[in-house]
Chains A and B, each alone.
Chain A
Amino acid sequence: MARDTQLLKGLLEGCILALLDNEVTYGYRVVELLGKYGFREPQEATVYPILNRLEKKGLLKSEKRPSDLGPPRKYYMLTKDGAKELEVFKNEWENVKKTADRLLEVK
């Protein structure tokens, strides 16, 4: 687990953008979805600061919606800049993946 932590952290921003491109949702649901997609033990402590940073950067926007379980929830969605950033991430990730695959095949 410790070995891939740094790598995962770097990817998390892009993956969260991708999740929110598919679904407008709230913080805890993002954590759940990351878990479902295979991220091991995703934590609110990691995800919330990223959501906050992405919102401050203008890549996400949010709105409050009522919740049956407590106070209104903050739902996050992608902005136009967020969508552009996601495209950049996808391209970069594709390049990194190809490079890594080539290296691993050579080995």
Chain B
Amino acid sequence: MKTMTKQSKLIICLSLFISGALIFSALVYFFGISDTTDVDVTWMLVALIFIAILSAVVVYAARKKIRTRAKLLNTEFFIAYESIEDSMEGSVLSIFERKETMKDILGLFIDAQNSGRTVEQVTGGDLSGFIIQVQDSFGYRSRLLFTLISGVQYAIMYLFMVQIYEWVRNTRGESFFSAQPGYSLIVVLLPITFIGIPLMRYFIRKQKIFWAMAVLFINLAIGIAFMEITCASFMHIEWIRSIHEDVFSYVPGWGFLVLWLGILAASFGMKWFIRRISIKKL
């Protein structure tokens, strides 16, 4: 069995780094506050550490799963297969289409390997070109539209997560709708859903994993820097003070809950519709 590839090592190292950074910041926050016996804070600290460790384990397990799935491939073909699978994560194909395509490619690679062909003979020495051709063969040309719809989906899911987080942290025992996270988390993290994630997917599609991760860090750093700088120097401006101090609920009632879920469902429907139209135009 082949050893872990360079790409897998890089991804696992980055996930360990992110998890480590999350645990470190949680610990710094915990020991920095005056009352470390606060049950709520301790509970949140444990939850954060658990999520960080779990994320790293999930990434490792996912890499192992790719190796198991493609165990019949020799090292040369496996490296190519792994690159294609990672690159597919940045495509606009549905999960089902991605899985089916990867099964087809695995079959092609196994047949080619058994016939004594090399990766270069199979891909013509242009793996990136092969990946793009495969994705283009589905005919989905509305990449920008897909990106925008995905941004809306991530944004809604993110708003729900923040609302749940705030509810668990501050207003447990009260109604879910009464939790009020406010603007600050939106300002720091919402740009990630519309700018960060599309950029990450672009770099993943282009097989530039390092840059994909860098985008995430840069995005977070800009958000945090904005909040820190404005808090330190610009609180006299009304809208900046509002961002820092005002709170409101993202899901203030049943009506909004239905509305958000309706938009989420409609966005999935729209993606399905665009795919259908694209196939007809092929």
- Taking Cβ atoms with an 8 Å cutoff, the residues of A that contact B are 26-29, 32, 41, 43-46, 48-50, 52-53, 56-57, 67, 69-74
Q: Is the CB of B282 within 8 A of A27?
A: no
Docked complex: B118-155 residues within 8 A CB-CB of A: 121-124, 126, 129-130, 133-134, 136-139
Q: Is the CB of A69 within 8 A of B110?
A: yes
Which of B122, B126, B136 has the most C-beta atoms of chain A within 10 angstroms of its own C-beta? B122
Min distance, Cβ B232 to any Cβ of chain A, angstroms? 54
Given A27-B108, A28-B111, A70-B107, A49 and B136 contact (CB-CB distance below 8 Å): yes
B213 at the interface (CB under 8 A from A): no
- Taking Cβ atoms with an 8 Å cutoff, the residues of B that contact A are 72, 101, 103-108, 110-112, 114-115, 121-124, 126, 129-130, 133-134, 136-139, 279, 282
Given A44-B122, A45-B123, A56-B279, A28 and B108 contact (CB-CB distance below 8 Å): yes
In the complex, which residues of chain A have a beta carbon less than 8 angstroms from the beta carbon of B121? 41, 43
A72 to B105, CA, bound (A): 12
In the complex, which residues of chain B have a beta carbon less than 8 angstroms from the beta carbon of A32? 115
In the complex, which residues of chain A have a beta carbon less than 8 angstroms from the beta carbon of B108? 27-28, 44, 48
Q: Which of B72, B122, B137 contacts A49 (CB 8 A)?
A: B137
Apart from A27-B104, A67-B107, A73-B111: 4 A-B pairs, beta carbons within 8 A? A43-B124, A44-B108, A71-B103, A71-B106
Min distance, Cβ B207 to any Cβ of chain A, angstroms? 15
Q: Is the CB of A70 within 8 A of B139?
A: no
Q: Is the CB of A27 within 8 A of B111?
A: yes
Output the nearest chain A residue to B138 by Cβ-Cβ distance: A56
Output the nearest chain A residue to B115 by Cβ-Cβ distance: A28
Summarize A's interface: helix, strand, loop or mixed: helix
Q: Is the CB of A45 within 8 A of B279?
A: no
In the complex, which residues of chain A have a beta carbon less than 8 angstroms from the beta carbon of B110? 69-71
In the complex, which residues of chain B have a beta carbon less than 8 angstroms from the beta carbon of A72? 107
Q: List 26 A-B contacts (CB under 8 A).
A: A27-B104, A27-B108, A28-B107, A28-B108, A28-B112, A41-B121, A43-B124, A44-B112, A45-B122, A46-B124, A46-B133, A48-B104, A48-B134, A52-B104, A52-B137, A53-B137, A53-B138, A53-B282, A56-B137, A56-B138, A57-B279, A67-B107, A69-B110, A71-B107, A73-B111, A74-B103
A91 to B134, CA, bound (A): 29
In the complex, which residues of chain A have a beta carbon less than 8 angstroms from the beta carbon of B115? 28, 32
A41 to B122, CA, bound (A): 9
Q: Is the CB of B111 within 8 A of A26?
A: yes
